[in-house]
Amino acid sequence: MAAQNGKDLLIKLDMNGSGTFETIAGLRATRISFNAESVDVTSLESSGGWRELLGGAGVKSATISGSGVFKDESTDERARQIFFDGEVPEFQVIIPDFGTVQGAFMITSIEYAGSYNGEATYELAMASAGALSFTAV
């Protein structure tokens, strides 16, 4: 597989609950992380004292984060509304030449920053709030 362009990893937000997804405005850096808790089932009978893990057990989760330039567009406004209203809408993450991850996420933090001689920036963090689907390219 050839190297991929980082700007093609997109975070999209369902704008009104109807499946109309728009890329969140102004993002410069995006990241998605998948996690799975392990369940240790090691006992005195474990071969050679090696740890044993129970397959298929534990909680799976995903986190999304992004940072960029504050543009005050409709997607920025929607993200703020989601945070303050405690909504858990659908998001999509487009991973170039891999596929699309989709599911409900909660916005767990929004940070705004700016310096005297620079642009206003923001950071978002989101945590999965249910089962996720994956559609390969």
pLDDT above 70: percentage of residues in the chain: 99
- β-pairing verdict for 121-128 and 99-113: antiparallel
28 within a domain of the structure (yes/no): yes
71 within a domain of the structure (yes/no): yes
Paired strand residues for 49:
none
> Which positions ≥6 away from 72 have C-beta within 8 Å?
none
Residue 2 pLDDT exceeds 80: no
User: What average pLDDT does the segment 94-108 reach?
Assistant: 95
Q: What is the CATH number of the domain that holds 113?
A: 2.40.30
Query: In terms of residue numbers, what domain contains 83?
Result: 6-32+65-136
54 within a domain of the structure (yes/no): no
The per-residue pLDDT for range 63-86, each reduced to its tens digit, is 999 999 988 788 888 899 999 999
pTM above 0.85, yes or no: yes
Looking from the CA of 120 toward its CB, the CA atoms found within 13 Å total: 6
Rg (CA), the chain: 19
Identify the three-state secondary structure at position 84: helix
Greatest Cα-to-Cα distance within the chain, rounded to the nearest angstrom: 64
pLDDT above 90: percentage of residues in the chain: 73
User: What average pLDDT does the segment 46-72 reach?
Assistant: 92
Residue 1 pLDDT exceeds 80: no
Query: What are the distances in angstroms from CA 126 to CA 86, 117, 129, 136?
Result: 12, 29, 9, 22
